[in-house]
Structures are given as C-alpha cells and as structure tokens.
Amino acid sequence: MARIRSDSGEPLARLVPRWCGTLLLALGVLTLPWTAGLAVMLPSSERSAHYDISWTGFDLLLCGLLLHTGWSIARHRPGGELSAAMTGTLLVVDAWFDVLSAPDAAQLLTASAMALLVELPLAALCLWIAAHRGSAFLQRERRAPQGEP
C-alpha cells in the first residue's frame, strides 16, 4: 500500500508512531496460544455469580457509546469515527455473546433475530461511519497546506 503524501509529494507526518503498530501485532500473535489454551481448558458451561450486573454494565456502556456516537456525528464533532468504531465493535461482541449464551431454543431464536436484524446491521453502519469519516479526515489532511493544523 502506498504511503499517503501531501500535495508537494512529502509523506504526511505519522498520526501514530510505527512502534504502536509493531506492539499491537506482537500482542496479537502472542494472544493466539493464550486463546488456544483457553479453548482447551475452559469448561463449555459455567454459572456466573453476577451475570445480571455484567450484562447491565455492558449494555450501559453500549448505550453510552451509541449516544456519544450519535451526538458526535449529528454535531460534526471530531472523534466521531473513533466512537463509531468502538460502538460497532461492541455491537458485534453483544451479538456474539447473546447468541452463544442463549440457554434454550426460544432465546436462541430471539438472540439470532436481534443479531441479524438489529445488532449486526447497526454495527456495519457504525463501522462504515468510522471508515468514511476516517477517509474524509485523511483527504482533508492531504489538501491542507503545509504548516496548517
């Protein structure tokens, strides 16, 4: 992939240092054996002492992100793309755990319908917003004269 350059042909200053990418790649690779170990060691079912509080807290976090993302996008505030990316990610996680933790066929059907009709389409919209706004930011940066913020 080509590096993004300014109109004068000079590379744009990196928004994130290269070592951050290297660190994240290394952590991703190191997480693979950890995950494989968990898949073998963890029981297939477990009873949770605070199941209700866990999901309530997760849903409150998701609610806050939905509100913040909506506000940021409606008001054209900076950072809306980051909020949208986080919201989309949590919606995918919510769908995943709702479907996989459904205790019976009726709840599995409900969770699957919610995932397919609400959570995953909304996640796709949020991730599209994040990518679209991020792309717009980069285009604006390319057009800005050198030395302007």
Per-residue confidence (pLDDT) for residue 139, from 0 to 100: 64
Residue 51 lies in a domain: no
Residue 37 lies in a domain: no
Residue 41 lies in a domain: no
Residue 148 lies in a domain: yes
Identify the segments of the chain with pLDDT beneath 70.
1-16, 135-142, 144-149
**What's the number of domains the chain is made of?**
1
DSSP secondary structure of 18-59:
HHHHHHHHHHHHHHHHHHHHHHHHS-S----TTHHHHHHHHH
Per-residue confidence (pLDDT) for residue 6, from 0 to 100: 44
Q: Which domain holds residue 136?
A: 62-149
Judged by DSSP in three states, 5 sits in strand
Judged by DSSP in three states, 11 sits in strand
Residue 57 lies in a domain: no
What pLDDT, in 10s, does the model give residues 98-138? 999 999 999 999 999 999 999 999 999 999 999 887 766 66
Residue 84 lies in a domain: yes
pTM score: 0.74
Residue 118 lies in a domain: yes
